[in-house]
Amino acid sequence: MMRRVRVELGERSYDVVVGRGASRELASLIPPDARRVALVTQDGIPVDVSRHVPERVALSRHVVGSGEEHKSLATVERLCGEFAAAGITRSDVVVAVGGGMVTDVAGYAASAWHRGVRVVHVSTSLVGMIDAAIGGKTGVNIAAGKNLVGAFWQPCGVVCDTAHLDSLPEREQRCGRGEMAKYHFLVGDDLLALDLDARIARCVQIKAEIVGQDERESGRRAVLNYGHTLGHALESASGFALAHGEAVAVGMMYAAHLAHALSRIDASRVAHHRDVIVAHYGLSVEVPRNVTRARLVDLMRRDKKAIDGLTFVLDGPSGIETVSGVSQAAVHSAFDALSVP
């Protein structure tokens, strides 16, 4: 069954196509006036969408390296140089094929080239399908932290072909489950009652509704960062030994302990977090032993949400919301709960 979820953003609205075989819909998402397609991907991604690109367009292929060190301004600069060589104009389109790293980098390069060319994302990972490829947030890492340089640049369409998940390595599956677990705390839906394709489509719908209300994260969209304040810090502090979704899983458990320390939620709600994250999704909530709380606090202070002291997205009586000016005592109480040195 093929599902289409609409991201409503006025004249920049677009469809997310979800289902097995959704790659066949790629041609319908490429703007009819495009003459060239710059296909950005990685070696090792076993997905060939070239047969789904209209014959009328000229196709060039551009490869992004694997590993977080390639999620960089240097990669964006190289891609833009290759776009120039391929003759990509503002009326053409970039097609990003891969996981969250590829869509983040390709999306940012598309936003910068000629001050903005159109982009279509073909997501091949679970975390990309339910999060990274949707909503227009693009970015790269710098020495100061993860995703600190980027732009809001909406795609003109997203393909989530769930057949690509069949060959996804177990670690990538865990990474996606970390992001999927997040949606359990954002809404009251029984997501576990749905099959995988329907659950992915529901996660896309939840994100689409939030992005439609707050495209540039000036308010409600920040709830999509649940677990990410500590999660991003853990990724950096561990030298990216923890994948994104694995770090977010730990971050959500930390956020639950922090909300409890602030008397925002009770012990049963903390237990519910552990049940969803650990029991249902099989994720770890252990912090690597070589990571210290001093390093994590330093990294969390640089978080993009940090306006008034340490800022977190936390559960509470009104649901998930942004909380600023969190006390050091509460921060350390939550670290104690996770046995962080």
Q: Which of 25, 82, 172, 179 is catalytic?
A: 179
Q: Which of 207, 257, 260, 293 is catalytic?
A: 207
Per-residue pLDDT 10s for the chain (341 aa) are: 899 999 999 999 999 999 999 999 999 999 999 999 999 999 989 888 999 999 899 999 999 998 889 999 999 999 999 999 999 999 999 999 999 999 999 999 999 999 999 999 999 999 999 999 999 999 999 988 878 899 999 999 999 999 999 988 888 888 899 999 999 999 877 888 999 999 999 999 999 999 999 888 878 888 999 999 999 999 989 888 888 899 999 999 999 999 999 999 999 999 999 999 999 999 999 999 889 999 999 998 877 665 557 899 999 999 999 998 999 999 999 999 998 88
pLDDT in tens, 256-279: 999 999 999 999 999 999 999 999
Q: Which of 52, 146, 221, 260 is catalytic?
A: 221
* Predicted structure pTM score: 0.89
Q: What pLDDT score was predicted for residue 329?
A: 94
Q: Which two tokens stand for residue 1?
A: 């069954």
- Using the structure block, give the residue that is written with the tokens 């014959």: 55
Q: What phi and psi values does residue 134 have, to the nearest 5 degrees? A: -115, 135
Q: Is 184 a catalytic residue?
A: no
Query: Are the beta carbons of 101 and 64 closer than 8 angstroms?
Result: yes
Q: Which of 23, 236, 265, 229 is nearest to 124 (CA)?
A: 23
Q: Is 225 a catalytic residue?
A: yes
For the chain, domain boundaries: 3-170, 226-337
Cα of 133 vs its chain's centroid, Å = 7
Euclidean distance between CA atoms 301 and 273, whole angstroms: 25
321-323 and 58-63 strand pairing: unpaired
Residue 5 pairs with which residues in a beta bridge?
16
CATH superfamily assigned to domain 226-337: Dehydroquinate synthase-like - alpha domain (1.20.1090.10)
Q: Is 121 a catalytic residue?
A: no
Q: What pLDDT score was predicted for residue 340?
A: 87
- What is the fold, at CATH topology level, of the domain defined by 3-170? Rossmann fold (3.40.50)
Q: Are 3-170 and 226-337 equal in CATH topology?
A: no
pLDDT in tens, 278-287: 999 999 999 9
Q: Which of 36, 225, 273, 304 is catalytic?
A: 225
Q: Is 207 a catalytic residue?
A: yes
Q: Which two tokens stand for residue 230?
A: 């500590």
Q: What pLDDT score was predicted for residue 278?
A: 96
- Using the structure block, give the residue that is written with the tokens 């819909």: 25
Q: Which of 246, 243, 255 is nearest to 278 (CA)?
A: 246
**Cβ neighbours for 202, distance < 8 A, ≥ 6 positions apart:** 183, 189, 191, 194
Amino acid at 229: T
Q: Which two tokens stand for residue 171?
A: 């670690």
Q: Which of 217, 246, 273, 305 is catalytic?
A: 217
